[in-house]
Structures are given as structure tokens and as C-alpha cells.
Amino acid sequence: MIKKHYDIIIVGSGPSGVFAALELLRSRQDIKILLIEKGRDIDKRICPMKKSGISCSECPECSLLSGWGGAGAYSDGKLTLSPHIGGSLVKYIGSDSLQSMIRDADRTYVTYGAPDEVYGPEEDDITTLTKRAAEHDLTFIPSKIRHI
């Protein structure tokens, strides 16, 4: 058996694994990375639930979650470009750092083929939508979205 040496082994090729590999390669181009994924190739990821309309079969290797891109491979492809939507990261790393990371991730997606167009409310609509939301005890969070 041929022994191979890797500097880093990344388990999982979902967005976190893929971006971890990209960041490592940006910092050191000579680094040897092994990216391991238990899921099938995208064209072989078939879910019995989607195919036949039955309830989840709890497959040992879920085709919706496992494989290159993780669950995102089957999402509708929205990348929310706001530090205020999607979790509490802003609490841990601050708004400026998080916004910088979001911009970097967004640029990476565009570099690899995401469309240039970004969607979101027009500036004139933000005031109106904020007031309408407040009337119902809701908070409107204006956000730009890239549809991948």
C-alpha cells in the first residue's frame, strides 16, 4: 500500500469543509489537503422520500444531507448577505468581522460562477416596510440576497 502524506484532512465537503480548504490554500498554496466525503456524487444522490413521496426512510447515508455541497446542494440557493440573519455569530465575532467574512464568502461564490445580480428591498421601501412590520410587533431586517 502506498502511504500518502497530507498536511490537513478535512472531513465533510459541505460549505464549511469547502471553504476551510479554500482558506487553507489561500494561506499556503503548497499545503496538501485531503477532503473526505461519505456522500455520493451529486448525480447519484437520490432520496427515496423525494422519489416516491413516502416519509423519511432514515437512510444510513442521507442523500439530501451528504455529498459535495452538503444540504446546500438541494437548497434553493439563496445566500443572505447580512450579519443579522441566520444565527448569532455577530454576538461572538462582532458585526464588522462578520460582514467582512460574508463579503469574502460572497466574492468566492461569484468567482466560482454565482451570478452578479443581488436582490433586496429598494432604499425607498425600507422605511415603509420597517413601519409596517413595527405595526405588528415585528422587526424588519433589510438584507441583500444573492440567488445562486
Q: 51-62 pLDDT, tens per residue?
A: 777 888 888 888
Split at pLDDT 50, 70, 90, the class of 98 is very high
85 with 146, same domain? yes
Contact 33/40 with Cβ under 8 angstroms? no
For the entire predicted model, the pTM comes to: 0.75
Answer whether residue 80 shows pLDDT above 80.
Answer: yes
61 with 99, same domain? no
Q: 13-71 pLDDT, tens per residue?
A: 888 899 999 999 999 999 999 999 988 887 888 888 877 778 888 888 888 788 887 77
128 with 61, same domain? no
Query: Which is it for the CA torsion 106, 64, 87, 93, positive or negative?
Result: negative
Contact 126/142 with Cβ under 8 angstroms? yes
pLDDT of residue 1: 61
- Give the end of a domain, one of 75, 95, 115: 75
Higher-confidence residue: 8 or 85? 8
* Residues above pLDDT 90, as percent of the chain: 53
pLDDT of residue 55: 84
Range of the domain at 38: 1-75
Q: How many CB atoms lie within 10 A of CB 34?
A: 13
Answer whether residue 11 shows pLDDT above 90.
Answer: yes
105 with 146, same domain? yes
